Structure 1
Amino acid sequence: MLLSVRHRFLFVHIAKTGGTSVRAALEGRRWRDPWYPAQFLCSRLSHLSGHRLAIKLPRHAKVIAAKELLPREFFDSLFKFAFVRNPWDLQVSSFHHIRRERPQFLGGHQDFADFLRWKLDPERPYQYHLDTSIERQSDYLIDLDGRTLVDFVGRYERLAEDFRIACDRIGIPTPSLPHRRRAADRTTDYRSYYDDDTAALIARHFARDIALLGYRFDPD
């Protein structure tokens, strides 16, 4: 989650949706925010305490957390936005990210289909780096009654275009989007990773996202 007091925006960072690039593009704006030194200090204190001080909005916090922590008038004044991604594509991206940067979390499953079944097994012990990427994206956007709290939902599939829309809404020139954490070792088309069973597994687990966000396995 990225909060700018000066520019009155709140970016809700859903894992594996291009958020690292969005954060990097907007970081320069934070440095010129008069509130940034205080935010930076709180962030460092939170890190040094093992995040036990409750003084920082986590990187992948849901928008409801900001609503509960921030003053109502201030929260309502923010332009709140997020990016989402096709759930089938997101899981392929997550698999390659974990295999490349945190292979110890693969649980011995080098095959995508085997890893996916193990990852979505409700009996598997919780692991942050796995479970963040199987959170339902819609949960990041809504309150406890299911009402959408964000003002704009962009899509990873048109990241540059929707980022320009978000910057226009914020009222800032659009900075360039760096390419961060792009997997060089994956097949371009996510559909080639799936068979009927694993495609249906994603459809069941992310049914709420698919219904709310309008994604399909075959977008054409």
Structure 2
Amino acid sequence: MLLSLKHNFLFVHIAKTGGTSVRDSLRPLRLRDPWFVAQFLCSRLSSLSGHRLGIKFPRHSKIIAAKEMLPAETFDNLFKFVFVRNPWDLQVSSFHHIRRERPHLMSHIETFDEFIRWKLDPERPYQFHVDTSIELQSDYVVDLHGKVLVDFMGRYENLHEDFEEACRRIGVRAPELQHKRQAKDRKKDYRSYYTDEIAEAVAKHFARDIEIFGYTFDPAA
């Protein structure tokens, strides 16, 4: 999550949706914010008391954290945006990410089918800290009653154009979108990883994301 009081925006960062590129491209705006030093110091000092102020949030905080910790007027006036991604494509990205970054977790897994069965196994120990994409993307953008709180939802599939639109709404010239590391060994078409059974398993687990964001297994023409 990236908050800028000077430019009046809040970026909600969902993992594996291009968010690191967005954050790094917008970070200079935050560093030039006249409130940045005060926010940084207050955040560090408040942590000593065991009570963190809502001025600096963890990278993958949900928007409800900002709503609960920021003054209501401040939160309401922020331009709040997020980037989301097709759930089937996101799980392919997750597969390559974990295999690359934490291979010891997948020592018993050879195929993508096995990965999805392991990942969605209700008996598997809770491992959110290892793979945030097990959670619903929609959980990051709604309040406790399921109401969507963001003003703009960009899509990973349209990253450059939607990033430019977000910057236009912020009121700044869009900086060059920094590209982050992508898996070199993944196939371009995520659909090639799926059997009908595994595709249905992902559809069932991420049904609310599919409904809210309007995704389908086959990309829209």
Q: Please give the range of the TM-score, normalised by the shorter of the 2 chains.
A: over 0.9
The residue number in structure 2 matching 1:208 is: 208
Tell me the amino acid that sits aligned with residue 143 of structure 1. Answer: D
Match of 1:68, SS state, is: helix
Identify the residue that residue 169 of structure 2 maps to in structure 1.
169
Whole-angstrom distance in 1 between the partners of 2:82 and 2:40: 22
Q: Give distance in 1, aligned partners of 2:112 and 2:38.
A: 43
Give the distance between the partners of 1:123 and 1:218, measured in 2 at CA. 30
Q: Which moved more, 1:53-62 or 1:189-198?
A: 53-62
Matched, 1:117 2:127: no
* Structure 2 residues without counterparts, runs of 5 or longer: none
Answer whether contact 2:88 2:202 (CA < 8 A) is retained.
Answer: yes
CA 1:44–1:123 in 2, change beyond 3 Å: closer, same or farther? farther
Give 1:40 shift: 3.6
Deviation >4 Å, runs of 4+: 41-46
After TM superposition, the structure 1 = structure 2 runs for residues 97-176 of structure 1, keeping only pairs within 5 Å, are 97-106=97-106, 108-176=108-176
User: Are 1:54 and 2:44 matched, yes or no?
Assistant: no
CA distance in 2, matches of 1:192, 1:89: 10
Q: Structure 1 residues 54 and 114 mapped into 2: Cα distance closer, same or farther (>3 Å)?
A: farther
- 1:183 shift after superposition: 1.3
Summarize the alignment of residues 3-42 of structure 1 with structure 2, pairs less than 5 Å apart.
3-41=3-41
Could you report, residue by residue, the CA deviation over 1:69-95 in whole angstroms, capped at 9, with x for unpaired residues?
A: 000000001000000000000000011
Q: Return closer, same or farther for 1:92/1:36 CA change in 2, 3 Å cut-off.
A: same
The separation in 1 between residues aligned to 2:111 and 2:130, in whole angstroms, is 15
Q: 3-state SS of the aligned residue for 1:83?
A: strand
Secondary structure of 1:116's aligned partner: helix
Shift of 1:177: 0.6
Query: TM-score, structure 1 length as denominator?
Result: 0.92
> Could you tell me how far apart the structure 2 residues matched to 1:68 and 1:107 are?
41
Give the match's secondary structure for 1:128. coil
Could you tell me whether the CA contact under 8 Å between 2:81 and 2:152 is conserved in 1? Answer: yes
Name the CA distance, whole Å, in 2 between partners of 1:83 and 1:2: 13
Secondary structure of the structure 1 residue equivalent to 2:175: coil
Query: What SS is found at the alignment partner of 1:10?
Result: strand
Q: Which moved more, 1:152-161 or 1:104-113?
A: 104-113
SS of alignment partner, residue 215 of structure 1? coil
> What amino acid is aligned across from residue 186 of structure 1 in structure 2?
R
SS in 1 for 2:210: helix
Task: Name 2:179's counterpart in structure 1.
Answer: 179
Identity percentage of aligned residues: 67
Aligned residue identity for 1:98: I
Residue ranges of structure 1 left out of the alignment (5+ in a row) = none
What do the CA deviations read for 1:38-81 (whole angstroms, capped 9, x no partner)?
344466679x98xx653441211111110000000000010000
Q: Could you tell me whether the CA contact under 8 Å between 1:105 and 1:130 is conserved in 2? A: no
Offset, 1:181: 2.5
Paired residue type of 2:52: A
Structural RMSD (CA): 1.9
